[in-house]
Structure 1
Amino acid sequence: MNGGLYRSAHSAPDGEPPQTEEGVTLISVDTAISGYEQAIAPEPVPEGDTSTAGNSAVMAIGSLVSRVIGFARNALIGMALGSGVGDAYTSAQFLPGQIYELLLGGILSSVLVPLLVRRRKADPDEGLDFTRKLLTFAIVSLGIATVLMVIAAPLITWIQSGSDTPPAYRSLVTHFAFLILPIIFFTGLSALIGAVLNVRGHFAAPMWAPILNNFVVIATCGVFILFFSSDDLSVDNISGGAILLMGLGTLLGMVVQALGLLPALRKVGFSWKWRWDPRSLGLGEIGRLAGWMLCYVAANQIAVFVVVRILNSVAGEGSASTLAFNNVFLLTMMAHGIVGVSVMTALLPKMSAAAADGRYAEVSADLSRGIRLTSAALAPIAVIYGVLSAPIAVMLFQGGKFTNSDALATGDVLVVAAFAVLPLSISYLCTYAFYSLQGNKTAALINLPVVAVRITAYFALAAILDKSLSAAGMTAGNAISYVVSALISLAVLRRKIGRLNLGSVAASLVKVLVSAAIAAALGLLVVRLMPGAGAPDGRGEAFLQLLAGGAVILVAYLIAATVLRVREVSDVVGMVRRKLGR
């Protein structure tokens, strides 16, 4: 029930660990991974499972490293291409992820991975022959689909861009799309190999492979800056060589990611052989099982299509557009991944066990505790995003063709995203509660009105706001849909499991919001008194504002939350004191 981008675990075209541009579908057998959003819940695992804990640690480290490198990559893309060409490039990048999700992404984690697990347990050859047949069919299907999509690139970009988009901009998106759309095949190949590895208990390689992708794109940006930095780069005059370099470099990144998984495949003892036998796969059953997930995925992809179309219509008019929207969304998902998903990972096994035994009061208590803990932990991050949006954007993205005004415009979008951080994670917590209750169908059905609200908000805000605020408006549309998602989910959950302790949640949220407001006021005061006064002209001023403003916000929030007796914050502070005392 997320907004913005929607990618599966290996489908992020920019080489990040699947984040869920857009609700992110995680390919996982028995554990949730910090930093990944899932369309289906992982199977609960017994407490004290050290192998699972070890796997989670390896994947969490890989996720963190890849996110850091991913931000370096995104910053370099902006520096190399600037806002106008960068918007066109980013629009083309969305296409393979969207198409892949509709072809394979949703059903891979919800149907195919569980199916591979069952066949591995039931078949005498541990599912080897079935896996070979499945891979053969999937690779052929992906290959045919990829060729058709590349041929249809002009039509796809015309539909995505709309009639309001300048012809030169649409032409540039199309040229990038011709080069980038083959990523569909290698994304699918990477995801399928990752699924085979996960089923065989190997999690590290799929987690770390996107880092190879990042390095290739970073190197591509470096070469681009070396050879084309002196060009007067714009949508109207970018050279064919520049387009080829960025497009083929992006494609090469995903090729390297897929090839980087092959050694791990040999390590687990899997040898692939051509086995063409579609009839033995039970495609009818797979289709029936995938129905609700396809509904979930399709709804999200429609929302992605709409937001890209709206942002494309204002590209090149000096406004924060597709590139800025994507960068801010990644920041939002990073906060959610670090805090929200970590809380979900800890609570889901307990909630699932309680739900299986009919102990719904415990499910309610865990959900309530999760919302309180997530809110208390995310509030200062949201304040930092809102108050220090400009210095954050300047520090991360300014440079080269991405000017100071481009960075400050991105900061304006981040201000709006600050209000989306809490609703996003709360809505996901509710979704995980449905997973614990085996309510995947319910989660998919709730997603439909949520996406309808999101798309309505997109169009309404696009019509009301000035074009320069389009990216901020689309981010606000996401935030509104997160709130709606949380409210609908809580109402449905209350009918399913009874009281949700919402009184204690509301009391805690009020204290958290008061603490956050105090921290925000003091942070704003400090930033306004510093050089640049909240609109830094370069990284020097931005760094000083982040250092001073961040420190004031964190200290003020901790003091206010402690005075107001926000239990979750007090517990964390007490734990740190005990650790320091030792």
Structure 2
Amino acid sequence: MTDAPSGERSLARSSAVMAGGTTASRLLGFVRATMLAGVIGTTGLAADAFDVANTLPNQFYLLLAGGVLNAVLVPQITKAASHDDGGDEFVNRLLTLSLAIVAGATVLVTALAPWLVRLFSDAHNHDALVLATGFAFICLPQMFFYGLYTLFGQVLNARGMFAAYMWAPALANLVAIAGLVVLRIGYPHQPAVTAWTHPMVWVLGGTATLGVIAQAVVLLIPLHRSGFRYRPVWGVRGSGLGSASRVALWTFAALAISQLGFIVTSRVLTRATGLLERTHETGAGKAAYTNAFLLFMLPHSLITLSVVTALFTRMSSAAHAGRPDEVVSDFRRGLRMPAVLLVPITVAALMFGPTAVHLVFAANSEAQTQAVAHVMMAMMVGLLPFGWLYLVQRVYYAYEDARTPFYLQLVVTAVATAVNLVAFTVEPGRAGVVVGIGQTVSNLVAALVGFALLRRRFGLLRLRRVAQLYARLGVASVLAAAISWPLVHWLEGTLPGGRAGAAFELVVGGGVYVLAALGLAHVMHVDEVRQLLDPLVRRLRRRPS
């Protein structure tokens, strides 16, 4: 089966809607991260204390709700649409069970906050642990509302309503930004770990939690408009949830493995912060790693996630209908479409990394900027493999096969943990970069294993065109970097410091790089780039001289 152009256009429209919401949310997220860096810093014990606490609900949400529900809901709801009632009873039963599990888990992990903080942190500073525990008690209830957001959002996605799910996080960021404005106006900037008062803790942690609540509750509006009415339906016997529970158990196991690996990551990074604090040095710890990961996730969220989210619903429908050729065709789309932007972005990140970090976190010192930038650049090398693995996992989830993604997660965690253990032995200032390299290597190895397993399942994947696309984009991007590098080097030595200089360098130097990369790709007959540029070229040719 060929990759139909109409399918490309439909997928592009769905992806564009989601990318718009993700763009708004990510831009507000950067505003939030920039303000947070000004208020609490990107390095040091206080920054790590809030980062550890505010990361906990995300980690347990991923473990008990996010990945399980993402993997289970779309295929199950897609199948339920063929039921006599349109699947409403099935979906209500699944939602009731899921909400009960998430609510119980939230109560449990909140009660365990002091022990969880010590599990995820290797800092031996008593004041830092007390501060992190206070933040954790306020932030851990976010877990329930993250689950609610995922449940409501996936019901909307399965009904073809993608926009609200992607736009809702913008509201969470707005609420959190409001709290940071209050902190910025009324309290000292970047206070030491011993200077935090109860009102300061409640403003920062409380508004972060209120934002997550708003993000979930706002989805009730489009859900109601879609015609769906939730009513609790208890019990699973005879409901057809057996296959769903098997998928959930395997997905839970995969995420459990992932979180065990993350405990090692968190302890490596908080240990590095503690050691650097003792010697009054600046380097990448837990908070710096989180900010680097925020930058790394921007292109993945805007491009790969938007494309693959739309593809996942299509692949689930095709898998349920027994059309494997369509699944493989969409798999190739998922490899090709993001690459047009991700390959040039990967090269650009290596060239403009410190400048981009300086622009986003203008309040950072030069040492803080370099610490975040080096970790981000180590991650960016693995931007493409990260997306490949994400797509491979969704192919298996479309077939309600969560066992294979579990084995792939074992590969990721084993490789990343092995590299993280090496990070324990290096100088504290280099630990963050080693962790970033571990993320890149682990995703690459797991993605290659995933390709081999897909070939075993489907036969030939016909990836020759995909490989040619990557090769041509890679050559075009490297040549574009060589062309634009003298200008970038001259700008760095000429422009004044500060955010304005960084912005000018990115606009001018980055603009030259982008034009060169797209132009060279066009000359090298990259079809996806030619489809993007041909309408513009035709208009220019028609213009009178």
Could you tell me the TM-score, scaled by structure 2's length? Answer: 0.84
Alpha carbons 2:344, 2:473 under 8 Å: kept: no
What CA distance in whole angstroms lies between the structure 1 residues aligned with 2:403 and 2:338?
25
1:230-245 equivalences in 2 (<5 Å): 230=188, 233-245=191-203
Alpha carbons 2:168, 2:218 under 8 Å: kept: yes
What CA distance in whole angstroms lies between the structure 1 residues aligned with 2:73 and 2:535?
42
Structure 2 match to 1:174:
133
What CA distance in whole angstroms lies between the structure 1 residues aligned with 2:488 and 2:463?
36
1:25-40 equivalences in 2 (<5 Å): none
Equivalent of residue 39 in structure 2, options 80, 98, 116: 80
Structure 2 match to 1:99:
60
Q: Provide the secondary structure at the position in 1 that maps to 2:504.
A: helix
Question: Percent identity, aligned pairs only?
Answer: 34
Alpha carbons 1:217, 1:253 under 8 Å: kept: yes
Q: Which amino acid aligns with 1:383?
A: V
Structure 1 match to 2:515:
555
Residue range with higher mean Cα deviation, 263-272 or 247-256: 263-272
What is the Cα deviation at residue 77 of structure 1? 1.3
What is the Cα deviation at residue 374 of structure 1? 4.4
Q: 1:161 to 1:373 in 2, by over 3 A?
A: same
Structure 2 match to 1:297:
255
Alpha carbons 1:383, 1:519 under 8 Å: kept: no
Structure 1 match to 2:286:
322
Structure 2 match to 1:147:
107
Structure 2 match to 1:251:
209
Corresponding position: 1:337 with 2:336: no
Alpha carbons 2:78, 2:316 under 8 Å: kept: no
Corresponding position: 1:541 with 2:513: no
Alpha carbons 1:454, 1:481 under 8 Å: kept: yes
Structure 1 match to 2:221:
263
Corresponding position: 1:213 with 2:172: yes
Structure 2 match to 1:427:
389
What CA distance in whole angstroms lies between the structure 2 residues aligned with 1:510 and 1:278?
50
What is the Cα deviation at residue 130 of structure 1? 5.5
What is the Cα deviation at residue 576 of structure 1? 3.6
Corresponding position: 1:224 with 2:183: yes
What is the Cα deviation at residue 221 of structure 1? 0.6
Equivalent of residue 396 in structure 1, options 360, 368, 375: 360
What CA distance in whole angstroms lies between the structure 2 residues aligned with 1:117 and 1:559?
42
Alpha carbons 2:53, 2:139 under 8 Å: kept: yes
Gaps of 5+ in 2: 277-281
Q: 1:144 to 1:465 in 2, by over 3 A?
A: same
Residue range with higher mean Cα deviation, 368-377 or 440-449: 368-377
Equivalent of residue 480 in structure 1, options 441, 445, 460: 441
Q: Which amino acid aligns with 1:171?
A: V
Q: Provide the secondary structure at the position in 1 that maps to 2:60.
A: helix
Q: Which amino acid aligns with 1:411?
A: A
Alpha carbons 2:53, 2:133 under 8 Å: kept: yes
Structure 2 match to 1:14:
none
Q: Which amino acid aligns with 2:488?
A: V
Structure 1 match to 2:371:
409
1:253-273 residue CA offsets vs partner (Å, 9 max, x unmatched): 112223323333443455555
1:487-537 residue CA offsets vs partner (Å, 9 max, x unmatched): 212333343444455666556544443333333334443232224579x73
Residue range with higher mean Cα deviation, 495-504 or 476-485: 495-504
What CA distance in whole angstroms lies between the structure 2 residues aligned with 1:390 and 1:344?
30
Alpha carbons 1:383, 1:553 under 8 Å: kept: no
What is the Cα deviation at residue 330 of structure 1? 2.6
Structure 2 match to 1:6:
none
Corresponding position: 1:574 with 2:534: yes
What is the Cα deviation at residue 475 of structure 1? 1.3
What is the Cα deviation at residue 395 of structure 1? 1.0
What is the Cα deviation at residue 252 of structure 1? 1.1
What is the Cα deviation at residue 210 of structure 1? 1.7
What CA distance in whole angstroms lies between the structure 2 residues aligned with 1:270 and 1:503?
44
Q: Provide the secondary structure at the position in 2 that maps to 1:465.
A: coil
Residue range with higher mean Cα deviation, 212-221 or 195-204: 195-204
Residue range with higher mean Cα deviation, 417-426 or 432-441: 432-441
Corresponding position: 1:307 with 2:265: yes
- How many residue pairs are counted as aligned between the two chains? 530
Q: Provide the secondary structure at the position in 1 that maps to 2:516.
A: helix
What CA distance in whole angstroms lies between the structure 2 residues aligned with 1:149 and 1:142?
10
What is the Cα deviation at residue 546 of structure 1? 1.1
Q: Which amino acid aligns with 2:111?
A: I
Q: 1:175 to 1:477 in 2, by over 3 A?
A: same
Corresponding position: 1:445 with 2:407: yes
Q: Which amino acid aligns with 1:176?
A: F
Structure 2 match to 1:64:
23
What CA distance in whole angstroms lies between the structure 1 residues aligned with 2:79 and 2:322?
21
Q: Provide the secondary structure at the position in 1 that maps to 2:372.
A: helix
Structure 1 match to 2:279:
none
Corresponding position: 1:189 with 2:148: yes
Q: 1:564 to 1:495 in 2, by over 3 A?
A: same
What is the Cα deviation at residue 392 of structure 1? 0.6
1:141-192 residue CA offsets vs partner (Å, 9 max, x unmatched): 4333222212210111111113x54332222211110110011122223333
What CA distance in whole angstroms lies between the structure 2 residues aligned with 1:57 and 1:503?
27
Q: Which amino acid aligns with 2:291?
A: N
Instruction: Please state which structure has a larger fraction of its residues in helix.
Output: 2
What CA distance in whole angstroms lies between the structure 2 residues aligned with 1:563 and 1:132?
54
Q: CA RMSD in A?
A: 3.8
What CA distance in whole angstroms lies between the structure 2 residues aligned with 1:143 and 1:45?
44
Structure 1 match to 2:118:
158
Structure 1 match to 2:454:
493
Q: Provide the secondary structure at the position in 2 that maps to 1:529.
A: helix
What CA distance in whole angstroms lies between the structure 2 residues aligned with 1:198 and 1:367?
19
Alpha carbons 1:299, 1:451 under 8 Å: kept: yes
Could you tell me the TM-score, scaled by structure 1's length? Answer: 0.79
What CA distance in whole angstroms lies between the structure 1 residues aligned with 2:163 and 2:349?
31
Q: Which amino acid aligns with 2:173?
A: N
What CA distance in whole angstroms lies between the structure 1 residues aligned with 2:256 and 2:487?
46
Equivalent of residue 467 in structure 1, options 428, 433, 437: 428
What CA distance in whole angstroms lies between the structure 2 residues aligned with 1:445 and 1:425?
17
What CA distance in whole angstroms lies between the structure 1 residues aligned with 2:440 and 2:148?
34
What is the Cα deviation at residue 411 of structure 1? 1.8
